[in-house]
Amino acid sequence: MELSLDTNNATYQIQSYKDGCITVNGQKYSEAILIMPDHLITPWGPTTLDSLSPDHFNDLLQFKPELVILGTGSLLQFPPKQLYAVLTENRIGVEIMNTRSACRTYTLLTSENRRVVAGLLV
């Protein structure tokens, strides 16, 4: 069996998630956050899935991600595709999952040095 050291060079790393709280770099957040390897925006605009708008996704284009992860809270819920159509039209992948899974996926992708943006609803 080959073992390798797990390294993650992201400036902003998620350390834990419990319903209602995300810990990033030792700081606890109980509101929605937008996290990238080199940026953290808190609070992020939407507070619930229903409060998401196309503008929330249009604003992500400036970060030039290859993938956007949307964490929808404790339950997996799918927003209408027209909300994030600007991303798919610009060939940016979009993955929607519950926030617990989104935190794990973000951590994995940043350890691979991927250009990922995670919008996490708490």
CA 108 vs. chain centroid, Å, equals 12
- What are the residue boundaries of the structural domains of the chain, listed by start? 14-121
72-99, pLDDT tens digit by residue? 999 999 999 999 999 999 999 999 999 9
CATH entry 1.10.10.60 includes domain 14-121: no
Residue tagged 């992500």 (tokens): 60
| CA angle, residues 103, 101, 86, in degrees to nearest 5 | 80
11-62, pLDDT tens digit by residue? 999 999 998 899 999 999 999 999 999 999 999 999 899 999 999 999 999 9
pLDDT at 6: 61
Which has the closest alpha carbon to 41: 58, 55, 60? Answer: 60
Residues 6+ apart with CB under 8 A from 110: 8, 9, 10, 13, 37, 116
- Which band of pLDDT confidence, cut at 50, 70 and 90, is reported for residue 65? very high
- Which band of pLDDT confidence, cut at 50, 70 and 90, is reported for residue 108? very high
Residues 6+ apart with CB under 8 A from 40: 12, 24, 33, 34
Residue tagged 């999952």 (tokens): 97
